[in-house]
Structure 1
Amino acid sequence: MTKFESIISIAQPLDKVYGFLSDLNNHQQLMPENIYNWSSTTDEAKFTIQNMAKLALKVNARIENAEILITPSEEAPFALEMKWLVAADGAGTTAKLIVSAELNMMMKMLASGPLQKLVDHQTTALAKALA
């Protein structure tokens, strides 16, 4: 599995950050502009990545104020797992997003840049959404 990670500190209490991330309805605010056809519930989200693929994701596990594990709910172009880890950090919260993807050599060359960019975009967007 290839891992893509991004971490950010947010000046908000842990329960607020966890509460935001645990509801997939909020994740639309974290997506870049090339995402469209978004539909979601608290536990599932479906969307299309422009010129790429349709994805359907679901919350697979939640650990209160610590972790949210998101996995595909339908067939995806490759095996994928998104994990949000949150922890109290002095006056605020540290949020870390880890995307693990099963990529062959060709897919790694094509997708590594966009996946890292997506992970970085989501953590930055999280900080803005909770500012």
Structure 2
Amino acid sequence: MSLFLSSVSVEQPVSAVYAFLADMNNQGQLMPDNIINWSSTADEASFEIQNITSLSLRIEERVTNTSVRILPSQQPPFEMELFWSLIGNGSSTAVTFTINAQLNMMMKMLASAPLQKLADEETRRLSAILAAK
């Protein structure tokens, strides 16, 4: 299993950060520019990674003000899990986004940099979006 982590501190209470992340409709705002054809409900989303593949994701587990676990709802190119972990500290929240991916050696060489970039981009955008609220 390959892990790709990105952490950020958000100047919002944990309840506000959790409410944003627990709704898949908001997750589309965190995606990089190469994500197209985003379609979502509160629990599921489908989209295309431009010129690569299509994915469907669903929220598998929500733990109020603590975490959001997201899994593929259809067979992905490789097994993966997306996990948001939250730790509240008064008016701010420490957020860690983890991508767990089952990658063979060839896929690891090809996908490691884009997956780390995705993790970093999502936390950067989360911080920017919630800072504006």
TM-score norm. by structure 1 comes to: 0.98
Residue number in structure 2 paired with 1:31 = 31
Residue number in structure 2 paired with 1:42 = 42
Gaps of 5+ in 1: none
Paired residues of 2:13 and 2:90 also in contact (CA < 8 A): no
Gaps of 5+ in 2: none
| 1:103 partner amino acid | L
| 1:35 partner amino acid | I
Cα RMSD (Å)? 0.7
* Length, aligned pairs only: 131
How far is the alpha carbon of 1:90 from its aligned partner? Answer: 4.5
Deviation string, structure 1 residues 44-93 (Cα, Å, up to 9, x no partner): 00000011110000000010000100000001000010000011134300
Runs (4+) off by over 2 Å: none
* 2:109 is equivalent to residue 109 of structure 1: yes
| In 2, Cα distance between equivalents of 1:81 and 1:52 | 19
| In 2, Cα distance between equivalents of 1:50 and 1:108 | 20
| In 2, Cα distance between equivalents of 1:38 and 1:48 | 7
TM-score norm. by structure 2 comes to: 0.97
SS of corresponding position for 1:130: helix
| 1:113 partner amino acid | A
